[in-house]
Amino acid sequence: ASVPEGAFTVQAIDPVTSLLGEVSGTITAAQDGQTVSLTVNLVEAGLGVLRFRGERDLWVFTANAGDSVRVAEDKLANGGYPALPDPFVEVYNPDGSFLGANDDSGGNLNSLFQGTLTQSGRHVVVATAYAEAYTGGYRITVTVNGTTVVPQPFPGGTVTGHVYQGDGVTPLPNTRVRLSTGNGPRLVANVSTDTDGLYTVTGVPFGALGGNAQVLGSATGNVPNRDDTVVADIRLPQVGTITGQVAFARGTPAPFTSVQVFGPGINRFAQTDAAGTYTFSQVPVGPSLTVRAYHPSDGALFRDVTGVVLTSHGETRTVDVTLPATATVQVTVLRGDGSRYSGAYVYIQDSARSFFA
């Protein structure tokens, strides 16, 4: 190819293995008309997959202060996942401070960070998506002073543990666990528990961490040193069931009427079935709750049962509710002489309304 005077970069990719290599050079005036020979070494690229929205993968490379660096995150189908629609790359210094980031400078929404390093040592690359809003495969490529280097997975600590039901004993298999850290190049990783409810996340940066199981339960901890293993078991909240029947004051079931349970940490609605029966599952154990049933003919009429408390995991509590009685009031308006008056406006104030309507 005819390359103009100035700096250039050559990139070679093996379409079968996705191995990649880059080399940079400069065409000078003295080389006009000459052939410049270069060798590109294909290296293992940093292939990865963001399987869930919000994930942040960590990679490392070693270089020195003053080195010129290019860090690219390109969209690439990988691991059975389609290509990441909009990559976003971040680079951190060896001391954990932020060096820079890029969104779309690589073309076609690919990311390309270019700069001069200010510290020597192991630098961290964060592979993520723009606004952490997408999933898919990607490739991290690092070039230092014009030569491709191999990015390595972050060599941090290990966090492992079991996820248990609210009873603290029964393991939860095939449950997604999301782990995040808050120090420097923040890691966000998702893994699934095995048949014994065990999960393991490797490459965790040193410092504080938090894990949760599908946002139902959580655990926190600290990875003090590289290669340390931290056990963080997660126990889901203790929950039970509230069920019962809603009936009219005359004793017949109230079908297809609204029922509410509310209190600290919960505010949910259900509807009775044809037999007037309702059920709330996954109700937290401990707080004092109120069950409220609404009259199907007038939403301003309801009956509360207060002080409903579940005391143990898996408990089923029956709470029956009897609705307030209603009746038809027939009004006859008379004149002062006792004769009937037709056409008068009639208003009523009752126990459910403090005003005349």
pLDDT at 19: 72
**Neighbouring-strand partners of residue 11:** 22
Which pLDDT belongs to residue 43?
66
pLDDT of residue 121: 96
Residues 220-233 pLDDT 10s:
667 666 667 888 89
pLDDT at 348: 85
For 235, phi and psi rounded to 5 degrees? -115, 125
Q: Please state, in angstroms and rounded to a whole number, the distance separating the CA atoms of residues 295 and 326.
A: 9
> CA 53, CA 166: separation in Å to the nearest integer?
27
Q: Which domains does the chain have, with CATH numbers?
A: 6-153 (2.60.120.380), 157-235 (2.60.40.1120), 239-322 (2.60.40.10)
For the stretch 188-213, what's the b/e string if a residue is b when 16 or more beta carbons lie within 10 angstroms of its beta carbon? bbbbebeeebbbebebbbbbebebbb
For the chain, residues with pLDDT lower than 50 are 215
pLDDT value at position 14?
80
